[in-house]
Structure formats: structure tokens, C-alpha cells
Amino acid sequence: MAQEALGNNEIVIPVEAIAETHSEITQAEHEVSLAAEPIFHIGAFNVTNSLLNTWLVVFLIIIFSLVLKSKIRKVPKVLQNIFEMIVENGIKLCDSVTGSRDKSLKIFPIAFTLFIFILINNWMGLLPGIGSIGFNEISGSHSVFIPYLRGGTADMNTTLGLALVAVFISNIFGIIAVGGWKYFNKFINLRALAEIPFKVAKDPSVLLVNPIKFFVGLIELVSEIAKVASLSFRLFGNVFAGEVLLSSLAVIFAFGLPIPFMFLELLVGVIQALVFAMLTLVYFSIAITEEEH
């Protein structure tokens, strides 16, 4: 029995209760959280484990790009040959969507950059230490394990940011390629309404057709918001589901059982990065095409 003296009163606490409480506090629980956990703060700004992982990916891409650039030769070696083949086939794939090499050369750098960034983020979450090295944070009567790094694309903030960037830049490209007024009329078709008084005498069908065109433009405006939701939720859902699956399998049996699913997640990482890049490519192609086409 443990005793604590307070003045003239004595409080007797069973040793078993102390041991049980200590065990509850010191035993860390590894909970899979939808939201990324904050690691430290810069003023009022929370730096989360997924943000740290994203910064690490950006750093690795920059370093690798600089090294690759320094290795470029007129007579290519093995590594340069591999990347030239990847780029060449990527541009050909763009051609199949855009139908024009000029358009492909403008869009490909953005789509390919997104593909590489998302692919490395997807695969980083499968590396040893990512999600398994961290610290314990006491919350109430129990301790929660928080990893220092977490897959960037398993965070909704990252995928939402990528989707917003892809859709926003596609619209900027559309304004540059088509013109501001024409692009504005793709969504709010004031031109269709303005044509009614001038064409109704020759073609009464404009009373029906042009209001439909105006309504279709509003639907296009809603579809731009839907693009953001589609891109972000698809990528986040697939990557986060993979994290939960691997964590659950590791709890059941850490040795051997998760290995086939890790290879499956490698394939899913490639597919999701390719889907995101291809959809971005399609959105760019639609944006730089005039309404009549």
C-alpha cells in the first residue's frame, strides 16, 4: 500500500491502482487518424507530419533533378536513356489526348510534374519508418503514438491543394488560349442571350436553343467545382485506404502478411498518379478548346 500525508490526514492508495494507471498512461495507442497530426508550430501555423513528408518529397525531387541535369550528355548513358524514353512516351500519350504536338508540349511539363510528385508521395508512405517512427503524446489517461512522417497524399489537405492547382492552372491556360471573353462565355453564356433579339426573326428556334446554351454554361461552372472534388477525394480515398489496410494487417501479423498488399499498394500508387495526371491533361485539353469545337 502507498500512503500520502496531507497535513493530519492520510490518503491510502492501493499499489495495484497506481500500477494500472501507470500502465494505461505509458502504453501508446497507434490510432489511424483522418487528419494529419501536428508535429510543431511556426507561430499560429501547424506543421503536420504529412506536410513534413511533402517537403521531403519536394526536396528529393529538386536534388534528383539537379543531379540528372548535370549528367545530361549528347551521347546518353543508361539513366539518361531511361528518362528520355519515359518523356518521349509521355509526350506521345499526351498527343493521343490533345491531338496536337504543340498543345502537348505546353501541357506535358505540368501533367508530368504532378505525376512524379504524386507517385513519390504515394510510395513514400510504404517505406520503413514512414508512419512507424514518432513520439508518444499523452492525451487524457492514455498515450497516443504520433509518427514524424506520414504519406502526403494520405492527407486531404494535400490532395485538395493539388486538385485546386490543377483546375486553376487549366482555367488560366484556357483564358490565354481562347481569350478572356470567349472563355467567360463558356460558363456564363451572355452571348447566347444577347443573340436572341437579333436572330429570332430569322430563326425562332433560338428562343429555345440559346437559353439551353446559357443553362449548359452554368452546368459547366458547377462541373469545375466537381473536378476539384473528384480529383482530391479519389486520390485521398485510395491512398488513405491503403494506409489503413496495411496498418490493420501489421497489427494482425506483422511478418509476411502485409508483403503482398505492399506490392499491391505500389501498383495502386502508380495507377492513382497516372489517373490524376491524365485527368489533369483532359481538363487542360478541354479548357484550351473553343466552345464551338
Per-residue pLDDT tens digits of the chain, which is 293 residues long: 444 444 444 444 454 443 444 444 344 455 667 778 888 888 888 888 888 999 999 999 999 989 888 888 888 888 888 888 999 999 999 998 888 888 888 899 999 999 999 999 998 877 877 777 877 777 666 677 788 888 889 889 999 999 999 999 999 998 998 888 888 888 888 887 888 887 877 877 878 887 888 888 788 888 888 999 999 999 998 888 888 777 777 667 666 666 777 788 889 899 999 999 999 999 998 888 765 54
Contact 155, 36 (CB under 8 A): yes
Q: Supply the pLDDT for residue 55.
A: 92
Number of domains composing the chain: 1
Q: Residue type at 285?
A: S
Looking at the domain assignment, is residue 232 inside a domain?
A: yes
Residue 256's pLDDT is what? 63
Please indicate, yes or no, if residue 90 is contained in any of the structural domains.
yes
Q: Is 172 inside any structural domain?
A: yes
pLDDT for 254:
62
β-pairing verdict for 45-48 and 38-42:
antiparallel
What is the domain range of residue 251?
A: 2-41+48-287
User: 124 lies in a domain?
Assistant: yes
What pLDDT is stored for residue 21 in this prediction?
42
Give the pLDDT score at 257: 67
- Residue 120 forms part of a structural domain: yes
Please report whether residue 34 resides in a domain. Answer: yes
Coil, helix or strand at residue 142: strand
Residues facing 146 on adjacent strands: 135
Domain membership flag for residue 292: no
Q: At how many degrees (to 10) do helices 49-70 and 78-98 cross?
A: 110
| Whole-number Å distance between alpha carbons of 261 and 120 | 18
Whether 293 maps to a domain, the answer reads: no
- Mapped onto helix, strand or coil, the DSSP state of residue 285 is helix
> Is the Cβ–Cβ distance between 210 and 195 less than 8 Å?
yes
